[in-house]
């Protein structure tokens, strides 16, 4: 194993753990029958400021970490074999 493989493997492992922790902290999105029938109006104060909530921030961080995980996985599997 090369040094680059070890470092990128460690970074990949850390990204996995961060994604797992972020997903476990998030609450479930069970709108139930009310939002299915009523449509879930966003005319409330909460609906207008939904992007500033803790859940929105966790959702954003999940997307960022998943993107980083995807890019690191591609680098490990595509670039590293050519370096050897």
Chain segment 11-44, per-residue pLDDT in tens: 899 989 999 999 999 877 765 555 556 555 555 6
Q: Residue 48 pLDDT > 70, yes or no? A: no
CA distance 22 to 72: 18
pLDDT, residue 50, reads 65
Task: Answer yes or no: pTM beyond 0.95.
Answer: no
Q: Which two tokens stand for residue 62?
A: 């999940």
CA distance 1 to 83: 11
pLDDT, residue 82, reads 78
DSSP string, 19-31: HHHHHHHSPP---
Q: Which residues contact 26 (CB under 8 A, 6 or more apart)?
A: 55, 58, 59, 62
């Amino acid at each position: 194993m090369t040094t680059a493989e070890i470092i990128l493997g460690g970074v990949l492992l850390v990204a996995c753990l961060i994604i797992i922790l972020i997903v476990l902290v998030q609450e479930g999105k069970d709108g139930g029958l009310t939002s299915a029938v009523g449509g879930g109006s966003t005319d409330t104060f909460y609906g207008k400021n939904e992007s500033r909530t803790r859940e929105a921030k966790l959702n954003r961080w999940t997307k960022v970490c998943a993107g980083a995980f995807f890019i690191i996985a591609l680098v490990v599997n595509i670039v590293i074999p050519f370096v050897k």
